[in-house]
Amino acid sequence: MGDECVTVETRTGKSGLLAVPTTSFERRGVFASVVFRANEDCFMAEPSTESLDELVSRTRGLQPWRKAFHAFNGLVIAGALAFLDLTRSQALLILGVIGVLLLVGDAVRLVSRDANELFFRSFTSLASPREAKGLASSTWYAFGVLLTVALFPQPEAVSAVLVLGLADPIASVVGQSMGRRPFLGGSVEGTTVFVLVALAVLIPRHAIPAAVLAAGIAALVERRSWPLDDNFSIPIMTGLTLFGMSRFL
């Protein structure tokens, strides 16, 4: 008795490969409901998997877990820089290792479709459609923080990371869910919230003129960071503005 592998579409619309003895099934209709007789020789093989395009399409939308993860990373990094007894060299080493690992992971998945599919299948709640053909936001994030810590004193670096970690995701949620008036590819509502959150972070830590200018510049960079990712440009431009203003105030 020979076995035959057939592709079956069930009444629920799901399909997959099944290996069954050729004498143990019958087809009904053009699109085939397949009726299987009880037979220990029959088994179901691994079902077909989604294509990369289908996996990417599942990452569109508000992505609340991605926003929460973004904020969590910012708080953890800022807290580590502020409260752990790390030297700048130690902090740069840790951030550098993380950045390199993320970059290698991106390189692998961008040259291997299977690896890219695995990435989007494993991190559906955290990935973004734009990452299908480019670096992951987490990679930009790591290198943005790395350069910020390398270039600026600790107070400015911590503030810049907090602006990235908090203002960016909160503004994104507001812009996507409540944005009505267009502004530089985003919305007035989202940009306004970005500035307000950045001010809430910066005013307790810096002179008011420096905080206002840094919040405004960071909000503009968030909207117009191309060709760089805003996760890279926001902390660097925030730190640069704060550091520059501190020289004059």
Between CA 40 and CA 74 the distance in angstroms is 55
Per-residue pLDDT for 80 more than 90? yes
Are the C-beta atoms of residues 106 and 139 closer than 8 Å to each other?
Answer: yes
pLDDT averaged over every residue in the chain: 83
Closest C-alpha among 32, 31, 11 to residue 20 = 32
As beta bridge partners, residue 26 has: 35
Instruction: Give residue 61's identity as a one-letter amino acid code.
Output: G
Closest C-alpha among 235, 247, 244 to residue 78 = 235
Confidence of residue 138 (pLDDT cuts 50, 70, 90): very high
Domain ranges for the chain, please list them. 3-48, 53-246
* pLDDT of res. 180: 84
79, 146, 149, 202, 225 from 152: Cα distances, Å: 16, 10, 6, 15, 20
Closest C-alpha among 163, 141, 142 to residue 239 = 163
Per-residue pLDDT for 93 more than 60? yes
CA angle, residues 168, 172, 175, in degrees to nearest 5:
135
Condensed to tens digits (0 to 9), the pLDDT of residues 23-61 reads 444 444 444 444 444 444 444 444 446 788 788 888 887
Condensed to tens digits (0 to 9), the pLDDT of residues 105-123 reads 999 999 999 999 999 999 9
14, 16, 34, 130 from 27: Cα distances, Å: 16, 15, 5, 43
Between CA 155 and CA 195 the distance in angstroms is 19
Per-residue pLDDT for 3 more than 80? no
Closest C-alpha among 130, 141, 73 to residue 102 = 141
How many Cα neighbours within 13 Å face the side chain of 204?
8
Condensed to tens digits (0 to 9), the pLDDT of residues 139-160 reads 999 999 999 999 999 999 999 9
Q: pTM for the complete prediction?
A: 0.77
Percent of the chain scoring above 70 in pLDDT: 80
